[in-house]
Structures are given as structure tokens and as C-alpha cells.
Amino acid sequence: MDKDKRRGFEPEKIEIETSEEGEGGAKKHTKVSIGTEDVIALFAGIVAVIIALGMVFGVIPVNELTIGVLTFSGAGAAIAKIISARKKKQKQD
């Protein structure tokens, strides 16, 4: 675990950092970070929307299995957001 921390790896968030030369030769740094829970919630929400649209347009049949997958995708997104909010609250305390 210490080896990962030396490299700047944190499983709680994903960071992307870029640098480019700006005006006058100065380097301009851009850093974007997103929590892993947010990524999970995003993709679970996307899956739920795609399945729901497929069911509405008749591409995906409406049965117990597809309704279950849709429900778990939506629940996964909600659970990931709750976990993210709790972690942020714990960091503040």
C-alpha cells in the first residue's frame, strides 16, 4: 500500500493531469479529479437510461429480468452517490 501512495495512487479518486506550454513559455497545468463512486454512479445511470429507452421503444422486451436489471442499475447509481456523500461528510468531521 505504501508503494501505491508513493506513486500518487489513491483508490478513492481518479486524477488526470496535463501540462502544456502557454504564452511566454510558461507551463499551464490542468488537473481533473473525480471520485470512483461518481464514475460508478455515472455508468450505472447510463445503463439504466439505455435499458429504459430500449424498453420504451420496444427494442428490449419488458419482462421480469429486464425490469430487475433496470432496477439494480438505478439502485447502484443511488447507492454509489450515498457512499460518496458519506465519505465527503466523514472527511469534513
Q: What is the pLDDT along the chain (93 residues), one digit of tens a residue?
A: 445 454 555 567 777 777 787 777 777 778 877 777 788 888 888 888 898 899 899 998 999 998 898 888 888 888 888 887 887 777 776
Report d(CA 48, CA 52) in Å as an integer.
Answer: 6
- For residue 64 the three cell numbers come to 421480469
Phi, psi angles (nearest 5°) of residue 71: -65, -45
State the DSSP string of 20-89.
EE-GGG-EEEEEEEEEHHHHHHHHHHHHHHHHHHHHHTTSS--SHHHHHHHHHHHHHHHHHHHHHHHHHH
